[in-house]
């Protein structure tokens, strides 16, 4: 059963590659508890099957980078979530000029995606278990909007323009 509007996000840990050391964050992958990150914040979270995959690289992430300023005028943060490791997410974020605009959150073992009920098995394509393509608006840990694509290559309801109209 997947998460739905009105539900509180499940417990989970996500990883983010940090380029510059700050208080409490070292250079490299850092673990963050989802509950701590969402407390008191409005966050746009979009999930996608994988870094460097065609639709994700050509349209999904670039759309959120392009509309980041508009979105951030209405929300505190924008997260990109994928079942990849933090090193891959960091590199993909740098290549797409997402750093500083979109937090590139890694769910390497798909634990959080599974807790959301938004996993998809792409083993037949050599990708293993991944995230479905989706977007959601989260307010203080509660899902306010949820957009789930019909298939991994679709990009009609989880895009940045749709989310901009929902925030």
Catalytically active residues, by annotation? 56
User: What SS3 state is found at 162?
Assistant: helix
The b-or-e profile of 78-108 (16+ CB within 10 A means b, else e) is bbbbbbbbbebbbbbbeebebbebbbbbbbb
120/154 Cα distance (integer angstroms)? 13
Longest dimension (CA), the chain: 43
């Amino acid at each position: 059963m997947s998460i739905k509007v009105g539900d509180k996000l499940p417990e989970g840990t996500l990883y983010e590659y940090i380029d510059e050391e700050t208080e409490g964050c070292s250079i490299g992958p850092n673990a963050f508890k989802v509950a701590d990150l969402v407390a008191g914040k409005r966050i746009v979270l979009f999930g996608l099957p994988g870094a460097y995959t065609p639709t994700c690289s050509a349209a999904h992430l670039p759309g959120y980078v392009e509309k980041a300023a508009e979105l951030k005028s209405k929300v505190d943060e924008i997260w990109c979530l994928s079942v990849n490791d933090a090193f891959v997410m960091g590199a993909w974020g740098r290549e797409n000029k997402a750093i500083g605009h979109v937090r590139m959150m890694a769910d390497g073992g798909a634990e959080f995606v599974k807790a959301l009920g938004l996993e998809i098995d792409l083993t037949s394509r050599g990708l293993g278990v991944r995230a479905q393509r989706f977007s959601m608006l989260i307010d203080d840990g509660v899902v306010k909007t949820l957009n789930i694509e019909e298939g991994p290559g679709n990009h009609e309801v989880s895009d940045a323009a749709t989310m901009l109209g929902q925030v």
